[in-house]
A and B are shown apart, each in its own frame.
Chain A
Amino acid sequence: TQLLEQSPQFLSIQEGENLTVYCNSSSVFSSLQWYRQEPGEGPVLLVTVVTGGEVKKLKRLTFQFGDARKDSSLHITAAQPGDTGLYLCAGAPYFGNEKLTFGTGTRLTIIP
């Protein structure tokens, strides 16, 4: 079973600050997804990265896939209360395999 470790597990910061959360594994993934989950709802896809070294931006959120395709990071600039939620990464081990492996999540709280 391939494992995805996310760090930190919890993060609480002031509005306007920057932050980075990490998703690490010893395994190689063909692609990696990031989801955000809000209380009482299911996870919602934010982005999929598929190429080693790829960087994708979604407004104030920047996602990077590691060169070796074993890790990923999510950087948020000028965090806002609306960014509060549980952030989950999910990796697909190799092409043609349908099973995603989810990380344990980073619970982010932005304090107004």
Chain B
Amino acid sequence: EAQVTQNPRYLITVTGKKLTVTCSQNMNHEYMSWYRQDPGLGLRQIYYSMNVEVTDKGDVPEGYKVSRKEKRNFPLILESPSPNQTSLYFCASSLSVGGAWPQHFGDGTRLSIL
């Protein structure tokens, strides 16, 4: 089954404790991205990657890091999480760049930073 898998689905942690949210897709997609979803603000892009070893900032990259060492994986790293990073996070992939390609989303990671 074609899918985007995120882990963990839920995480409660404390300020300053490094964490990684993993994302993996099995569709051989070139393009992957991370979004955060907050009430009233919609989906905002954090980082994206057009291919292996190619990443770039989205609209809200501060406090986040990503890497793309393999085509299928695109982890999101919070080096020193803070409470304002409490949010619902989604990883997405698409076949290629360009807005007409459908984005395939994971089921989300709900992150709470105390």
Contact = CB atoms under 8 A, between A and B. Distances in A.
B59 A91 contact: no
Contacts of B103: 33, 35, 43, 45, 90, 100
Interface of B: 4, 31, 35, 40-45, 48, 50, 58-59, 90, 92, 97-100, 102-108
Q: Which 3 A-B pairs have the closest CB atoms?
A: A92-B99, A42-B105, A98-B97
Contact of A98 (B35, B59, B98, B104): B98
B59 A40 contact: no
B102 A48 contact: yes
Give the interface size class of chain A: 20 to 34
Nearest to A32: B99
Given A50-B100, A88-B42, 12 more contacts: A33-B99, A33-B102, A40-B107, A40-B108, A42-B4, A45-B102, A88-B43, A97-B98, A98-B97, A99-B45, A100-B103, A102-B35
A93 to B, nearest CB: 7
Contact of A44 (B35, B105, B108): B105
Contacts of A100: 45, 99, 103
Most chain B CB within a 10 A radius of its CB, from A42, A48, A93, A97:
A42
